[in-house]
Amino acid sequence: MKHKYFIPLLIILLLADCSSQTIGDSAKENSSEKKQTTIFKKPPEFQPEKPEKITFNNTDIKVTMYSKRFAQGDAIYIEIEKQENGFIPESLSFLYKGGKVPVTKTTWGFKSLWGIHPDQKPGKIPVVISYKKDDQNIALSSNILVKKGNFLVSESKLDLGDFSNKDYTGDPKFKETIAECSELRKKAFGSVSENKIQNTISHPRDMHKVTSEFWKKRVYLTYQTKNKKKVTGSRTSIHRGVDLKGDVGAPVYAMADGEVVLAHSMFYEGNMVIVDHGNQIFSYYQHLDSINVKTGDMVKAGDTVGGAGTTGMVTGPHLHVSLVIQGVHIDPLSLLVLPVSK
């Protein structure tokens, strides 16, 4: 189901040649008539930042990388296009920190989406694009200057009700359920498929109010009964997503095109939906009051997948949304500034 309250925002970003890391412009010029520019679906009060960009090139290709800040936890989007009078290979390899990143061939070149690990040490990280031309191996390289992320630390302890009670979570009657939920998550995140992200990206809510930030270190109250006495304590955990305000039943939208690989009630996560966007990119939505999709459904960016709620381990109604790229949790809000093209 499509949402009614968002304002589609067409972003076109200029592709200018430069060798330094600069602030991205608000528009992007089509390098090909077949290239379709980005459509953002968003609540009116959410104003996406202009992404920073890095460009580098040789006589064959030009490369443009976009990111919110190129900081810890940020998503990065890259486009590889033919130079005027240049050469675009049938295939190429893209390495980040020496590891291979999935690349998608398009009608105008290549594109890819990956992210910087939140625990990545700030500093220069090499990227290398390699391909063959006339039986010769060509390599084009540059560096990303990774900035420090602005991650917060909670100053208060959160009481999770029954989920703060170790006697409750450790009850043998839940052991089988918890194990089954773990297997369901493992299977869903093990899905392997080709890129499904096109040129539309959606905010996951119809209003923008962050109630708990990405990668925030949070402290949870714990207690259990020992010798008939209540013993209190605490534990710390990293928040691997973003919490957004939402009354019970408020609409929750898929952030990008993809296939639903999990739509199920879970022990800790409550009602949960996981969407596979291809190339090992997943978004997931937790604590839903209702689920509007089923496993195997194909969704478009902005389709309703459920309603915000209070199911699972929560302190109140909200949406928890996360983005996982090639096994790394990335700030989902950093996806909303990227000029993803088709």
pLDDT at 298 exceeding the cut of 70: yes
Q: What is the mean pLDDT of the chain?
A: 91
C-beta of residue 146 within 8 angstroms of C-beta of residue 125: yes
pLDDT band at 29 (very low <50, low <70, confident <90, very high): very low
pLDDT band at 121 (very low <50, low <70, confident <90, very high): very high
Pairwise CA distance, residues 215 & 115, whole Å: 14
C-beta of residue 29 within 8 angstroms of C-beta of residue 14: yes
CA 13 and chain centroid, separation? 21
Residue 3's pLDDT is 52
Mean pLDDT to the nearest integer, 77-105: 96
Pairwise CA distance, residues 331 & 212, whole Å: 12
Q: What angle do CA 274, 51, 59 make, to 5 degrees?
A: 105
User: pTM for this one?
Assistant: 0.90
Residue 21's pLDDT is 41
Mean pLDDT to the nearest integer, 150-156: 92
pLDDT at 202 exceeding the cut of 60: yes
Q: For 183, phi and psi rounded to 5 degrees?
A: -70, -40
Write the secondary structure of 74-106 as one string of H (helix), E (strand) and C (coil). Answer: CEEEEEEEECCCCCCCCCCEEEECCEECCCEEC
Cβ neighbors of 175 (< 8 A, separation 6 or more) are none
Residue 35's pLDDT is 84
Tokens representing residue 176 in the block: 């089988």
Mean pLDDT to the nearest integer, 40-63: 96
The amino acid present at 143, given as its one-letter code, is N
pLDDT at 1 exceeding the cut of 80: no
pLDDT digits (tens, 9 = 90+) for 127-141: 999 999 999 999 999
Mean pLDDT to the nearest integer, 145-158: 94
Residue 6's pLDDT is 54
C-beta of residue 173 within 8 angstroms of C-beta of residue 85: no
Residue 228's pLDDT is 84
DSSP H or E stretch at residue 70: none
* Lowest mean per-residue pLDDT among 15-19, 152-156, 172-176, 249-253: 15-19
Pairwise CA distance, residues 41 & 26, whole Å: 16
Domains of the chain: 7-146 (2.60.40), 153-337 (2.70.70.10)
Tokens representing residue 141 in the block: 């390289």
pLDDT at 112 exceeding the cut of 60: yes
Residue 8's pLDDT is 54
* H helix intervals, the chain: 166-169, 175-189
Mean pLDDT to the nearest integer, 108-115: 98
pLDDT at 64 exceeding the cut of 80: yes
Task: Determine the 3-state secondary structure of 23 from DSSP.
Answer: strand
